[in-house]
Chains A and B, each alone.
Chain A
Amino acid sequence: MDILKVLTDSLRAAVGVPAAAYALAAVGLNVHFGYTGLLNFGHVAFMMMGAYGTAVTVDQGGPLWLGLLVGVGLAVALGLLLGIPTLRLRADYLAIVTIAAAEILRYVARSNTLEPLTRGVFGIQQFADPFYTLNPIPPGRYGFGTFNFSHRQLWVILVGWTAVALLLLLLTALLRSPWGRVLKAIREDEDAARSLGKNVFAYKIQSLVLGGVIGAFAGMLLAIDTQAVNPDTFISILTFFAYTVLILGGPGRILAPVVGAVLFWFLLQFADGFLREALAAGWLGSALEGNDIAAIRFALVGLGLILLMVLRPQGILGSREELLTDER
């Protein structure tokens, strides 16, 4: 068994583009769920707006920057569309509406009617070339030994994690301000916030739109990385992976999405690599086949999450004290 290879592969996954994209998605969810208490179960819809906004615009002949703007615009529109009818209602209505909206949008993207724009089930490919022509990194591979990336990968990774860092700086400033204090107050008890003169509805809309736009960035990053969008990429499980990342890190902590995403991808890749090596070494006998591993690694990550919830229910960065006061 080559444990070094398993570890370097896991490290590559931990800092790779999907990890950065999941971190971005979880940053958006952290604004919704961690700071405002909004139960958005359709985060993948915002990711889809970002990805499709970009891909369709470029596919129709527009420039990439316009595609990114369209993605942001679609996420804002979706936030308003979901928020205005539901945010005056109890928290669970938002959960129901968002999860349904995400599925509806996926089917709309698949539909024949929109095929001229979205190309239906085939999706759109090779729309991000302008992004890669901007790459200032000379061709080659960068890294140490087997832990290395191509100049193309490195470019996307750099842009992805830079976006995460900039957004975290912006959010730190926002969440430490009186504006952020109102969001947290709404999370704790929205009637109390109302009784003190805060327009709870307006703040919830702002939170939903802001977090949604950040979710759209995550979708753009995934789409640019793979140079492909396809409706069946944007299934509900993506929302729940983003929740997993956030809960791993500890909701309501500014760095939770980063810690959670790095850990999530490290564990996922480690489980995968370890099982494959073990299978190749014949340790698992005939109990497992190569095809089972993809499923079993998620089961192992699930087991890890259960252990985390038992041993450290507040997440890696969460505070025990806050958790205890929450139970009263």
Chain B
Amino acid sequence: MNAEPSAALANLTPRPGVPKPDPVLVLDEVRRSFGGLQAVAVEHLEVPRGATTALIGPNGAGKTTLFNVLTGFDRADSGTWAFDGRSLQGRRAHQIARAGMVRTFQLTKALGRLTLLDNMLLAAPGQSGERITGALLGRWRAQEAKHRAQAEDLLDRFGLAPLRHDLAGTLSGGQRKLLEMARALMARPRLLMLDEPMAGVNPALRQSLLDHIREICRRGTTVLFIEHDMDVVMGSSHWVIVMSAGRVIAEGPPAAVGSNRDVIDAYLGRHHGEAAGR
């Protein structure tokens, strides 16, 4: 693991809302409720730049809802958040993606009847051929060739190059996760947000996905990923944020969070120790 981000974060007090030296994303009073259920109620949260941050919490903690709100796939009831100092609340999903915050989905969204290569090419930003006039003028071909080379490199890195002319719909579940990660990178994000990249993936591939996440961060892209399983994040993240019932209940380096009383309570229930002692 890259030592640098860990070192920069090591001296911070592990408490919810602690300010980071160089945050890429800053949230204030972000709230979202569904009827009577307060799904997200984050008072203050900063995501460190250049690091891999894990967002963990038990089922129903509001992790995916927070992702949806931040990326424009859902509306916040209130609150503000800034990405690289630029306010993004109220922006639509595609504007947020163009701003550099690119997300993936818990249930993979491979574009089944497009080839892997087309899946990748779609994600390239700033394509002149994506405007109807540009498409007709045909001057997009040089740009397309450049994107194609980038796409092939990325597919190669994720071990999908031999399948590049296959339809994405023919991929296995794990391969779809890889494709989605590669595709998100093709969009050249400054913050890559992965929603449960390891969900439904067999243990062998899980390790490979973790290696890829580490590699993405090492190459300079900030990563924020949701994970359900606490053990997974221990070896693969520089910083861990824990949510429960919509709130951030703890954050800190993985080791500190793993032994945090509130976190164990959130995962196992408040009275687990007493019950065992009886």
Interface string of A179-192 (1 = CB under 8 A from B): 11110110111011
Interface string of A154-188 (1 = CB under 8 A from B): 00000000000000001001100111111011011
State A48–B184 Cα separation when bound (angstroms). Answer: 43
- Residues on B with C-beta less than 8 A from A181 are 114, 118, 121-122, 130
A328 at the interface (CB under 8 A from B): yes
Q: Which of A287-328 contact B (CB under 8 A)?
A: 321-322, 324-326, 328
Give the contacting residue for B111; candidates A174, A188, A324; CB below 8 A.
A188
Give the contacting residue for B129; candidates A178, A321, A322, A324; CB below 8 A.
A178
- Residues on A with C-beta less than 8 A from B95 are 197
Task: Give min CB distance, A258 to chain B, whole Å.
Answer: 21
B93 at the interface (CB under 8 A from A): yes
- Residues on A with C-beta less than 8 A from B113 are 184, 187-188, 252, 322, 325-326
A196 at the interface (CB under 8 A from B): yes
Chain A contact-residue range equals 20 to 34
Task: Give min CB distance, A199 to chain B, whole Å.
Answer: 5
- The answer to whether B94 touches A199 (Cβ under 8 A) is yes
Question: Looking at A173, A174, A189, which has the most chain B CB atoms within 10 Å of its CB?
Answer: A189
State A256–B144 Cα separation when bound (angstroms). Answer: 28
- The answer to whether B93 touches A185 (Cβ under 8 A) is no
A5 at the interface (CB under 8 A from B): no
Q: Which of B92-144 contact A (CB under 8 A)?
A: 92-95, 97-98, 102-105, 109-114, 118, 121-123, 125, 127, 129-132, 134-136, 138, 140, 144
Specify the main secondary structure of chain A where it touches its partner: helix
- The answer to whether B114 touches A196 (Cβ under 8 A) is no
- The answer to whether A185 touches B135 (Cβ under 8 A) is no
- Residues on B with C-beta less than 8 A from A210 are 132
- Residues on A with C-beta less than 8 A from B111 are 184-185, 188-189, 192
- The answer to whether B169 touches A196 (Cβ under 8 A) is no
- Residues on A with C-beta less than 8 A from B122 are 178, 181-182, 185, 193, 196, 198
Which residue in chain B gives the minimum CB-CB distance to A186? Answer: B111
A125 at the interface (CB under 8 A from B): no
With contact pairs A173-B135, A179-B130, A179-B134 given, residues A192 and B94 touching in the complex (Cβ less than 8 Å): no
A245 at the interface (CB under 8 A from B): no
Interface string of B15-30 (1 = CB under 8 A from A): 0000000000000000
With contact pairs A174-B135, A178-B129, A191-B73 given, residues A197 and B109 touching in the complex (Cβ less than 8 Å): no
- Residues on B with C-beta less than 8 A from A236 are none
State A295–B2 Cα separation when bound (angstroms). Answer: 75
B170 at the interface (CB under 8 A from A): yes
- The answer to whether A191 touches B109 (Cβ under 8 A) is yes
Number of interface residues of B (CB under 8 A): 42
Task: Give min CB distance, A139 to chain B, whole Å.
Answer: 40
Q: Which of B50-98 contact A (CB under 8 A)?
A: 71-73, 92-95, 97-98
Task: Give min CB distance, B171 to chain A, whole Å.
Answer: 9
B238 at the interface (CB under 8 A from A): no
Which residue in chain B gives the minimum CB-CB distance to A200? Answer: B94
Which residue in chain A gives the minimum CB-CB distance to B99? Answer: A197
A206 at the interface (CB under 8 A from B): yes
With contact pairs A193-B122, A195-B71, A196-B187 given, residues A178 and B130 touching in the complex (Cβ less than 8 Å): yes
With contact pairs A173-B138, A196-B183, A328-B112 given, residues A179 and B167 touching in the complex (Cβ less than 8 Å): no
- Residues on A with C-beta less than 8 A from B71 are 195
- Residues on A with C-beta less than 8 A from B104 are 195
- Residues on B with C-beta less than 8 A from A193 are 94, 122
Which residue in chain A gives the minimum CB-CB distance to B167? Answer: A325
Q: Which of B160-181 contact A (CB under 8 A)?
A: 167-170
Task: Give min CB distance, B136 to chain A, whole Å.
Answer: 6
A194 at the interface (CB under 8 A from B): yes
- The answer to whether A177 touches B129 (Cβ under 8 A) is yes
- The answer to whether B136 touches A174 (Cβ under 8 A) is yes
- Residues on A with C-beta less than 8 A from B167 are 321-322, 325
- Residues on A with C-beta less than 8 A from B112 are 188, 325-326, 328
Question: Looking at A188, A189, A197, A206, which has the most chain B CB atoms within 10 Å of its CB?
Answer: A197
- The answer to whether B132 touches A179 (Cβ under 8 A) is yes
- The answer to whether B135 touches A177 (Cβ under 8 A) is yes
- Residues on B with C-beta less than 8 A from A326 are 112-113, 169
A residues apposed to B, CB below 8 Å? 170, 173-174, 177-182, 184-185, 187-189, 191-200, 206, 210, 252, 321-322, 324-326, 328
B residues apposed to A, CB below 8 Å? 71-73, 92-95, 97-98, 102-105, 109-114, 118, 121-123, 125, 127, 129-132, 134-136, 138, 140, 144, 167-170, 183-184, 187
Query: Apart from A184-B113, A194-B92, what 14 extra A-B contacts exist at CB < 8 Å?
Result: A173-B138, A178-B127, A178-B135, A179-B132, A181-B118, A185-B122, A192-B110, A194-B97, A195-B93, A196-B183, A197-B102, A198-B94, A199-B92, A321-B167
What 5 A-B pairs come out closest when comparing CB atoms? A325-B169, A177-B135, A178-B129, A179-B135, A192-B109
